[in-house]
Amino acid sequence: MFTPRWRTGLIAAVCPVALALPLVPAATASQPTEPAQPSAAAATPTAAASNQASKPIRTPRSFTGYGFDRCVTPSSKTMDIWRRTSPFTAVGIYISGRGRACPDSAQPYLDPGWVRRQHQRGWRLLPIHVGLQAPCFQQGDPTPTKPRMSAQPRTAHRQGRVAADASVARARHFGIGKGSTLYLDIEWYNRTMQRCNTAVLTHIDAWTERLHALGYRSGLYSSASAAIQAVDLARRRNPTRFTWPNQLWFAWGNRRANLDGKPYLSDSYWRGSKRLHQYQLNVSVRHGGTAMVIDRNWLSVGKGSRPAPQTGTCGRRASFPSYPVLERGHVGPRVAAARCLLRRGGWSAAPVGERFDTRTVRALVRMQRDRDLPRSGRLTKRSWVVLLSYGRRPLVKVGSDQPAVWRLQRALRAAGRTAPRTGMFGSATATAVRGYERSVGQPGNGVVDGRLWQALANGRVGGG
């Protein structure tokens, strides 16, 4: 977003004086409104036909993890590099509004094909509308000049509906369909100016009502001390006065990747998976050798990321606090888990049971020969790592909720790392991954790619 640095975070929260600019007069025929943006039909014939042939996407859906936003949408090449090497899974894109610092003419990459490509690669898209700002919004340097809404509530309400129509038209153009969340960007303003604040609340109310009528969900971005706090206070004073946004995206540059909005945002109503926090602004970040100036975000939306069901365990328990060395004669559930995994890997045809017998020894020797491990027939640490990591090798990182996360956590535990047993890729799993990466000589970025899966499949346990 375009909140200037001197207004973000705590500085923005304690801005002590009211703005000196006069309120915008009542609406006239020449007063700014949000123009209807081009629809899909206004795109080039090839792009429009391709877009119409594809099923509209729904975004961001349910997710908990890291996101970033920046003025100019990155190229697909950069997005692919950051997907493989960065912790980010969500990205903010500026799709509509007269107040954008990066309009269509300054967006060389953002088109329906780009949106479809990133969605297919697993990016969670956060579509942003930067339109009319508060009547008391301060114009000029260092804040870019932006059009302002009317100070008259009735006109501000109508302008909110027009803004929603414009945003939905652009969302449809990009192939972003119903059920998606569109985010209204309201830059910092002095919410203590009552007349100005009332106009903003009315505008947000109309934006949300209209989006809901059109089948979309409403998000609101603003400084924590501006529209976010204003909306939260208004709801607590009168819960039925307005139609409230589904999600609040608060800018507070406190460098804490969490969803704690206090003292600006209470823990009631917009709690759990209804929040996004822009916690660091205008920072240069490099991943995979590619640097960008971005804003960092932590978010939990929809139902948040949740663990997927465990698969490939033959109906047996597979997650244990530890994976000790086992050999012929041992019995128990760990043996059953190993026998199941030997069957799944094609090293055994024996039924799953809890006894470490001669057939288990032979199957282990076959696996150890395949992985170039000592052919001991004993279930060693390295053999455990091979078996527990066996399966598909998708890219996983913070926020990932594929079944592969279960296998990753088990294999890391067997390798001697302190990984949780949750099926959720959170900060603790990322820490375990980084430690394992460093121990086997890989970049410690906390992202599990094909190289890390291969290290696990080879039974590498590293040192330390």
The helix/strand/coil state of 192 is coil
Is residue 69 a contact partner of residue 295, using CB atoms and an 8 Å limit? yes
pLDDT tens digit at each of 464 positions of the chain: 444 333 333 333 333 323 333 333 333 333 445 444 443 334 444 544 444 457 999 999 999 999 999 999 999 999 999 999 999 999 999 999 999 988 888 999 999 999 999 999 999 999 999 999 999 998 765 556 789 999 999 999 999 999 999 999 999 999 999 999 999 999 999 999 999 999 999 999 999 999 999 999 999 999 999 999 999 999 999 999 999 999 999 999 999 999 999 999 999 999 999 999 999 999 999 999 999 999 999 999 999 999 999 999 999 999 999 999 999 999 999 999 999 999 999 999 999 999 999 999 999 999 999 999 999 999 999 999 999 999 999 999 999 989 999 999 999 999 999 999 999 999 999 999 999 999 999 988 999 999 999 999 999 998 75
Query: C-alpha 32: how far from its chain's center?
Result: 34
d(CA 442, CA 437): 5
Is residue 114 a contact partner of residue 76, using CB atoms and an 8 Å limit? yes
Is residue 376 a contact partner of residue 360, using CB atoms and an 8 Å limit? no
User: 5-301, which class in CATH?
Assistant: alpha beta
Q: What pLDDT, on a 0 to 100 scale, did the predictor assign at position 144?
A: 63
Query: Which phi and psi angles does 459 have, rounded to 5°?
Result: 75, 25
**Residue 47 amino acid letter:** A
Q: What pLDDT, on a 0 to 100 scale, did the predictor assign at position 63?
A: 97
Is residue 424 a contact partner of residue 398, using CB atoms and an 8 Å limit? no
Is residue 454 a contact partner of residue 371, using CB atoms and an 8 Å limit? no
Q: Is the alpha carbon torsion for 294, 300, 301, 304 positive or negative?
A: positive
d(CA 17, CA 227): 17
Q: How many angstroms separate the first and last alpha carbons of the chain?
A: 42
Spell out the residues 6+ positions from residue 162 whose beta carbon is closer than 8 angstroms to its own.
33, 34, 36
- DSSP code of 215? T
Instruction: Provide, for the chain, the percentages of residues in helix, strand and coil under a 3-state DSSP scheme, each rounded to the nearest 5.
Output: 35, 15, 50
| Residue recorded with tokens 């859906």 | 61
Query: Which phi and psi angles does 368 have, rounded to 5°?
Result: -65, -35
Strand partners, 293: 284
Q: What pLDDT, on a 0 to 100 scale, did the predictor assign at position 464?
A: 53
- DSSP code of 226? I
The answer, yes or no, to whether the previous bond of 142 is cis (omega within 30 of 0) is yes
d(CA 403, CA 409): 11
d(CA 104, CA 85): 28
Is residue 408 a contact partner of residue 448, using CB atoms and an 8 Å limit? yes
d(CA 439, CA 93): 37
Strand partners, 221: 185, 249
The helix/strand/coil state of 321 is coil
User: Which two structure tokens, joined as six digits, stand for 442?
Assistant: 């890989």
Which ranges constitute the DSSP H helices of 214-346?
229-237, 333-344
Q: What pLDDT, on a 0 to 100 scale, did the predictor assign at position 35?
A: 46
Q: What pLDDT, on a 0 to 100 scale, did the predictor assign at position 7?
A: 37
Q: Which of 168, 193, 276, 171 is nearest to 20 (CA)?
A: 193
CA angle 421, 255, 399 (to 5 degrees): 30
Q: What pLDDT, on a 0 to 100 scale, did the predictor assign at position 411?
A: 98
Spans of all domains in the chain: 5-301, 333-457
Question: Does CATH number 2.60.40.1930 belong to domain 333-457?
Answer: no
Is residue 311 a contact partner of residue 403, using CB atoms and an 8 Å limit? yes
Give the CA count within 13 Å in the CB-facing half-sphere of 156.
Answer: 26
